[in-house]
A = this chain, B = another copy of it.
Amino acid sequence: MSEKIYDTVMVGAGPSALAAAVYTTREDIETVLYEKGVIGGLAAITDKVDNYPGFPDGIEGLTLAGHLEKQAERFGAQIEFGQVESIRSDGDIKTLVIDGQDVKARSVLIATGSDYNKLGIPGEAEYYGRGVHYCATCDGAFYREKKLVVVGGGNSAVQEAIFLTRFTTHIDLLVRSTIKASDVLQQELQKFVDDGKITVHLATTPNEIIVTDGTFEKVTATKDGEATEFNADGVFIFVGLKPNTEFLGGSGVELDEQGLIKTDIHLETSVKGIFASGDVRSGATMQIASAVGEGATAALAIREYLDSMPHTEAAPALEAVL
């Protein structure tokens, strides 16, 4: 209803948006973030973050998320809960429909991240981060000299299984049907199979993840119709990534073949004034450090964009609320 126009609206309140908000608000760019789930995103539900630079002994994901939130709020970021349903751009003004209400902004940052696809089996959600993992770069190093189960048969499953062999003594690779990875990856995989480092189990569907008295025990599965099980110290699941971009239909924001947002070098999307950063962006690494860095870079691009607009002084918008 109101004629209020924000300088920038950020969709999502994970590490990338929170980092961007530290930058924009510190420069008096009026900023509101809309989060539909958890402030801090995937970081907030990560047990231990070992590789976010600045914390030599690692830091709990929830603690890091709290730091990021506090820092953004210190400079005046406003964080709201709400589901963004659509975005449209009418020249210099962007309109977001959030829980059925119109919200207007001069610029938008999309930092909604991506979710890992789940198997949906018992034990998977309960032991997330404590035996059940979706990111080899993040958590592989916790499994030095250990035995793992890896689930998946696509490019990323095969690539990450090969990567994980640098830590593990042995990997059972469970593939629901047949391996879909590229020929090059399959040839590479064969070397690890020949060396006895990876055993491939085709036509094998995981049923349950069993943890006994806090110790990871095994993954039960059905192989060719028969029950079987795989003892291990943990399981890594690579069955795809779901970028949170479904609300972009009709926005004109271009996506790549995986549904991730395409950006230019300044992190601007195909729609002028709409930017993207973090794990929702094409080329994303699923690393907090990269997401945070891109958030900072995007914030500078947003400032430059706002400065280049006609009648862009932030002042009127600010005064309207005061």
Chain A residues with CB under 8 Å of chain B are 15, 18-19, 22-23, 26-28, 50-57, 59, 64, 67-68, 70-71, 74-75, 137, 140-141, 162-163, 166-167, 265-266, 283, 285, 287, 289-297, 300, 303, 307, 314
Contact = CB atoms under 8 A, between A and B. Distances in A.
Nearest to A26: B141
B68 A27 contact: no
17 contacts: A18-B53, A22-B53, A26-B51, A26-B141, A27-B137, A27-B141, A27-B163, A53-B296, A55-B71, A56-B67, A56-B70, A56-B74, A163-B307, A290-B293, A290-B297, A292-B293, A293-B296
Contacts of A22: 51, 53
Nearest to A52: B54
A23 B292 contact: no
The listed residue with most B CB atoms (<10 A of its CB), out of A18, A57, A293, is: A293
Closest 3 CB pairs of A and B: A293-B293, A289-B296, A56-B70
Contacts of A70: 56
A291 B56 CA distance: 18
A75 B53 CA distance: 12
B53 A26 contact: no
A193 to B, nearest CB: 16
